[in-house]
Structure 1
Amino acid sequence: MNKAITDGIVFQPTAFAAGLGVWSSGNGTPGSDTYQNIGTAAFVPSDADFGGALELQKTDGTQRIRYMGETRILPGCYLRVTARVKAISGNLPAVRIAGWAARSNGSHLDGVTEIGPSTALTTYGEVVEVSAIVGTGNRQGVDMVWGTQADYGHFGIDLTGPTGGVVRVDDIEIEDVTSVFGRDLLPWVDVRDYGARGDGTGDDAAAFELADADANGRAVLVSAGSYRIASSITLDAPMIFEGTLSATTGAIVSFTKSFDLPTYIEAFGDEGTALRKAIQALLNNADHDSLDLGGRRVTLDEPLDVAAAVPNRDSYAQRRILRNGQIRANPDGNWTAIQVTSQARYSASAPDKLTDVTNVANVRVGSRVEGAGVGREIYVKSKNTSAQEITLSEPLSDAEGTQTYTFTRYKYLLDFSGFDRLDVFEIDGIEFQCNEVANGILLAPVGTVMRIRDCTINRPHRRAITSHGDGCQGMMIERCNFISHEGDVAAQNRQSIAINVNNNDVKIRDNRASQFRHFLVTSGAQGLISGNHFFQGDASSNGVRTAGIVVAIRACNTTIVGNYVDNCFIEWTNEREPEPDYTGGFGFAGLSIEGNVFLCSNVSAAFSFIVVKPYGTNHRLNGINIAGNTFRGSGVTINRAERVDSSFAPLNLDASRQVTVTNNTYHNVEFATANPLRVSHAQNSVADTWVVGTGNKLPFGGLARSVESLVFSSRLRNSANVSEWYMPYTAAKQGGAQNQVHVIFPEQVRGDLDMVVRMD
């Protein structure tokens, strides 16, 4: 770049031969005194060394010679001012290049260097050359750094030292030497040329934006140095980093043409800082819908508090995606869970509150709650310190009164809990390397349509994905791989859980989970759980198995379809009801289990794949569909595929409604249940009451409550072997277990029949 050539800008002052009226003895500003027609200065037309020259007697302590023309100062342009001087007689002075910096309005620009290096004259007649470079940027070799506020200057020399001597000065030269800095043919602009200090102090944001505005299709080069950014900047040019940035927390740094994590790592040096600043930009810029980690691995020493990284937003509701990389926990980092015990009071009349909480200030939002009568995966959604009150993610089941609770706050690689609300945020193709010390993702307390897909959460400490409130509304978790670190631990002793959700419309699809205590704990309705493979076996003989899916809501309207349920079971419970006794409503309603593959091995005969576990009295089935599944024991025979866990309460089987168990396949299952159940009965001796059993094959140990149809499969005959043509009637719920049907005839007969019995 040479502005004299490319832009026709004139930097060179007029020669002394053209007259001394444009050469000032002051600062060079309009109206200042000149050397025209004064007795101590004259033009010498034929100097042996200089040709024409200015001869001047030094009369002031600092004798100034300034060109009164306005020499432009342009960003990225560097000027060299050169003067040749020799002493003629008298005292020998020193000489230096000097200037006067002006703003665009003509006022003086204070605080900048306006003199160059000084050289003493030591011999009469010896030609001494002095020069200095002036420019906007703080670059090596620039003597006078004037920054971007300078618009022009008045340049010349200063004679310092003793007065009385006579000197001659050759014509002063000003030339564009930008090419010396190697930027004339390169496709970038350097932020230092626009006033960036690069010394880690002040605020270089304005210089960055000036460079970006002037790039005009070129890249912006951040040359070596440390640049402090204390205010938000948006840069549209591609970025090249030799130096690094340090930005204040609130300063948003957006690279719109280089918006990816590798660029931010180059910019900030530290991976964790880079990820925080990139996410901050993602949630504050409309130019990009996603942040690509570029396949990079980011190692974190502590949780990434996303809300703290984006302090200007309490909520966000535009689709944004974090994708394509790995986030790893440093095993030596700050990942220890924080545990607090506090006494608190619970009342079923305020089912989502704990009141009179001692030590409430130390209880952290997002903590898991443990105590008597506390169900699985209950968390602190929010707290009111002044009121000593905690809001829970779900009600407690049997905790009326005052007791001591334990609050455990796990630490997560990505922690969104600081937001008030976060909607439509997506995490795509990220591997979370938890290294047994960190946990995976903690959602915001409120939000809709969070989406996590094609991710791997590897060896989380206790939790992979946690919802401590309603941030899971409509959430989609798809094609993810969850890997526990508890594979060598007996299933009943495991503590890690892959997913919990508390709200409605969740889709859990096509995931794989290995050897957690639970794959999913859900208390939301209208859920769709499909295509997943979760296995929880261990090497124990007659081993205990835990629930793969816990459905902790009665009226769930949930479909579990096409899954591979491996050495675990589906548990349906109402453990989160503050008043668990049935007083109305739907009961256990709306669960559909279809087309799944169930497999078990190394279990006791008492193991079952589908378990209903009621809390409180008088609960009933009122809508469950178990159809088209395959139930198989491998190397073991189990009693039943389904059962009621009556540890706390039984089901009211006499109130069962809309129970469908049909078209299932059973291998190594002793009692292949169905409803409606087809029963074949052979009455070999004459009787007027045939006792027809159901063979313990009604689902959930149900009662034989009704007969749907009855047909004779052989002729009906009396004791004389004479055919009879009677139509009997039936009496249901017979026998001690009420699982028999009596078929009653007007006379004693024998024969064979097929009957369809229902338990609902």
Structure 2
Amino acid sequence: MDWVDVRDFGAIGDGSTDDSAAFEAADTAANGQRVLVPKGTYFLGDHVTMSSEVRFSGQVIMPDDKRLHILRNFNLDTYYDAFGDEMLAFQKAVQAFFNSNEHEALDLCGRSLKVTSPLDMHAIVGNQTDSTIRKVIRNGQFNAWAGSDWDPETVTSSATYSTSSPLELTNVSNISQIQIGSLVQANGVGREVYVRDKNNASGRITLSQPLYDAAGTQTYTFTRFKYLIDFMSFDRVAKFIFQEVDFRCNGVASAIMLATDGDIFHCRDCDFTKPKDRAITSIGWGCQGMLVDRCNFISSELHQDVATRESIGINVNANDAKIRNSRAVRFKHFLVLHGSGHVIIGNHWFQGDSAGTALRTAGLIFTELNLKTTVTGNYIDNSFIEWSNEHDAFPDFSAEYSFGGLTLSDNIFTLNNGSTLFSFLSIKPNGPGHFVHGLSVTNNVFRSLDVRIDRVEKVDDSIATLDAGRMRNVTFDGNTFNNVDQITVNPVTLIFERTATEKNWVLEFAGYLPFEGDLRRIEGAVVEGFLRNTSNSEVFPMMSFNFNYGPDRSQCRMNFPDPVKGKVHVTGRMDNPI
């Protein structure tokens, strides 16, 4: 025989006698052979480690805080055979996974797990606060089943905010009822601000982001969404990977809440199917260096009009997220990103609706001023990119970087049945004095179907506008515009012609300049053919320029020693390139 029987080493299998020692004795005797657990119910009252391959015909019961380590055939099928219940098997496998360095992956063996309440990963593991060794959960499905355990919990409380402590709310009423991980909403609060921590005794809440206009005391709403997989109670989780997993939220659950700290969380080849509120939520710094590759995000609000949607795909607070080759369908917003150093490549997100309404929401939202971020090769469909500083307790420009460090290249922008006022890029300053310092928009295709739009970029001046006199290093070049009334180019070369002689030519650049900015520089002028004087003779005069000219500062005056006529190619720009 190539196996040993645990009963030969004293196992009883009556469901009450502790068979822990018998299991380990059988494992030692097996010496590389298999261990058989025959029919019966085996109570294991202590931690048990099995180094041999184990075959279960009977089942195991254990206290919640005791672990069964199966080292040779470590996968969910084995734990299901051991415990006879898929969810209990998953929990016991996760316990062992987090308490052993023997395995880099937990294979779900293609199983679909019926999940009736949020999986608190910290509570399941029980004895760990950190996880920093690479771990992978792969090849399975978490399937949320409807029930009251998924209902979001909402608390309304009075609290005070001061910019001197930009990450705190104080004097919070009902604080004991507010859960860590709750979304914070009130006047002057940016999107995707969460409760990172709280102190009931002092009445203080720690926020994930500062508030841009909430100084004083007001009423706040705190909403705790419920997640299939919840890492929040861990202090730190790093290098954790979900691979080929379907988070089937079914419109009743959200998908993943990250730990409050950590790095290199990775989802690859996963499906996020109809998350009720959020797909991936970060309430702290657990999103540092997060990777999302080849994932599919399907909103639970597919059939709702844009105006009624509330779900969001992913939020990021920290730096260096990489979102690549993924697809997102009809969320209110796909990505809300703070921090810098992000790489957004090869994705397709679209946010129109079946009703053909004109309203569109931002698919990609940046809330950091200086981004150091690239957005390349994406299909941005019926949505736009919004860039704000709503996570800034001091939103007015001060001694700091302003909007800059963003590259948009080789993307496809598409609009169906939108408004003529729609734009694909919107900058929204939450305080005065800001400007753009470092923006490259190159080799993109902007296409509107069914309606002509005014232009592809704009400033949302509902709170403040940009300082056009401080723009620096802005490039719009090589883009294609279809069904757009006014193309945007910077620097832009225009042709000006006079058929009657003039000494001072006033040249208009309005419209072409990004964000309808001022004409701040003339980079060059080339005469086409010859200039001619009042005698119609060819002349070769020196020319000079006054720019920032006219009531809107969008003109320049080209000056000659004597009146001339002809045709001149002039290159101007709305920024200082240096």
- Interval containing the TM-score (normalised by the shorter chain): over 0.9
8 Å Cα contact 1:368/1:380 also seen in 2: yes
Output the CA distance in 2 between the equivalents of 1:736 and 1:205: 88
Matches within 5 A, 1:609-648: 609-648=424-463
Output the CA distance in 2 between the equivalents of 1:499 and 1:619: 27
Q: Percent identity?
A: 44
1:505 Cα deviation from its structure 2 partner: 0.9
Output the CA distance in 1 between the equivalents of 2:21 and 2:461: 71
The structure with the largest alpha-carbon Rg is 1
Output the CA distance in 1 between the equivalents of 2:562 and 2:354: 59
Match for residue 21 of structure 2 among 184, 206, 209: 206
1:243 Cα deviation from its structure 2 partner: 1.9
TM-score of the superposed pair, with normalisation by structure 1 = 0.74
Matched, 1:344 2:159: yes
1:197 Cα deviation from its structure 2 partner: 3.0
Q: Which AA in structure 1 matches 2:203?
A: Q
1:333 Cα deviation from its structure 2 partner: 5.8
Output the CA distance in 2 between the equivalents of 1:539 and 1:435: 20
Equivalent residue number for residue 310 of structure 1: 125
8 Å Cα contact 1:453/1:480 also seen in 2: yes
Match for residue 237 of structure 2 among 422, 426, 431: 422
1:461 Cα deviation from its structure 2 partner: 0.4
Equivalent residue number for residue 200 of structure 2: 385
1:229 Cα deviation from its structure 2 partner: 2.2
| CA-to-aligned-CA distance 1:306-363 (integer Å, 9 cap, x gap) | 1111111100110010001111111236211111111111111111111111111221
Output the CA distance in 2 between the equivalents of 1:548 and 1:630: 17
In terms of mean alpha carbon deviation, does 714-723 or 745-754 score higher?
Answer: 714-723
Matched, 1:595 2:410: yes
Match for residue 711 of structure 1 among 500, 520, 526: 526
8 Å Cα contact 1:301/1:333 also seen in 2: no
Q: Secondary structure at the match of 1:675?
A: coil
- CA gap of 1:534–1:343, structure 2 versus 1, over 3 A, is same
8 Å Cα contact 1:540/1:602 also seen in 2: no
Output the CA distance in 2 between the equivalents of 1:309 and 1:383: 23
Output the CA distance in 1 between the equivalents of 2:44 and 2:242: 29
8 Å Cα contact 1:450/1:474 also seen in 2: yes
Matched, 1:554 2:376: no
Matched, 1:331 2:146: yes
Output the CA distance in 1 between the equivalents of 2:174 and 2:486: 54
- Give the gaps of 5 or more residues in structure 2: none
Match for residue 740 of structure 1 among 534, 539, 555: 555
| CA-to-aligned-CA distance 1:140-192 (integer Å, 9 cap, x gap) | xxxxxxxxxxxxxxxxxxxxxxxxxxxxxxxxxxxxxxxxxxxxxx5432223
In terms of mean alpha carbon deviation, does 285-294 or 241-250 score higher?
Answer: 241-250
8 Å Cα contact 1:233/1:254 also seen in 2: yes
Matched, 1:197 2:44: no
Q: Secondary structure at the match of 1:671?
A: coil
Match for residue 392 of structure 2 among 566, 577, 581: 577
Q: Secondary structure at the match of 2:22?
A: helix
Matched, 1:698 2:513: yes
8 Å Cα contact 1:459/1:484 also seen in 2: yes
Equivalent residue number for residue 173 of structure 2: 358
Output the CA distance in 2 between the equivalents of 1:471 and 1:663: 38
Output the CA distance in 1 between the equivalents of 2:13 and 2:184: 50
Output the CA distance in 2 between the equivalents of 1:459 and 1:206: 47
- CA gap of 1:540–1:686, structure 2 versus 1, over 3 A, is farther
Match for residue 564 of structure 1 among 379, 383, 402: 379
Output the CA distance in 2 between the equivalents of 1:398 and 1:362: 25
Q: Which AA in structure 2 matches 1:279?
A: V
8 Å Cα contact 2:87/2:115 also seen in 1: yes
Q: Secondary structure at the match of 1:266?
A: helix
Equivalent residue number for residue 463 of structure 1: 278
Output the CA distance in 2 between the equivalents of 1:388 and 1:310: 30
Matched, 1:241 2:63: no
Q: Secondary structure at the match of 2:16?
A: coil
Equivalent residue number for residue 725 of structure 1: 540
Output the CA distance in 2 between the equivalents of 1:349 and 1:437: 39
Output the CA distance in 1 between the equivalents of 2:491 and 2:265: 40
Matches within 5 A, 1:87-236: 186-236=1-51
1:202 Cα deviation from its structure 2 partner: 4.4
Q: Which AA in structure 2 matches 1:380?
A: V
8 Å Cα contact 2:306/2:357 also seen in 1: no
Equivalent residue number for residue 517 of structure 1: 332
1:218 Cα deviation from its structure 2 partner: 2.7
Output the CA distance in 2 between the equivalents of 1:429 and 1:240: 27
Equivalent residue number for residue 447 of structure 1: 262
| CA-to-aligned-CA distance 1:361-389 (integer Å, 9 cap, x gap) | 22111111111111000011111222211
Output the CA distance in 1 between the equivalents of 2:14 and 2:550: 92
Q: Secondary structure at the match of 1:639?
A: coil
Matched, 1:537 2:363: no
Output the CA distance in 2 between the equivalents of 1:331 and 1:714: 76
Matches within 5 A, 1:8-47: none
8 Å Cα contact 2:252/2:275 also seen in 1: yes
Equivalent residue number for residue 297 of structure 1: 112
Equivalent residue number for residue 677 of structure 1: 492
Equivalent residue number for residue 405 of structure 1: 220
Equivalent residue number for residue 92 of structure 1: none
Match for residue 420 of structure 2 among 605, 618, 622: 605
Question: RMSD over aligned Cα, in angstroms?
Answer: 1.2
Q: Which AA in structure 2 matches 1:473?
A: Q
1:695 Cα deviation from its structure 2 partner: 4.3
Output the CA distance in 1 between the equivalents of 2:268 and 2:33: 37
Q: Which AA in structure 2 matches 1:411?
A: K
Q: How many residues align?
A: 575
8 Å Cα contact 1:460/1:484 also seen in 2: yes
Output the CA distance in 1 between the equivalents of 2:234 and 2:15: 31
Output the CA distance in 2 between the equivalents of 1:672 and 1:697: 6
TM-score of the superposed pair, with normalisation by structure 2 = 0.98
Equivalent residue number for residue 396 of structure 1: 211
Equivalent residue number for residue 256 of structure 1: 71
1:217 Cα deviation from its structure 2 partner: 3.0
8 Å Cα contact 1:260/1:278 also seen in 2: yes
Q: Secondary structure at the match of 1:672?
A: coil
Q: Which AA in structure 1 matches 2:421?
A: A
8 Å Cα contact 2:492/2:513 also seen in 1: yes
Specify which structure has the bigger relative contact order, considering alpha-carbon pairs within 8 angstroms and separated by 6 or more residues.
Answer: 2
Equivalent residue number for residue 314 of structure 2: 499
Q: Which AA in structure 1 matches 2:237?
A: L
Q: Secondary structure at the match of 1:208?
A: helix
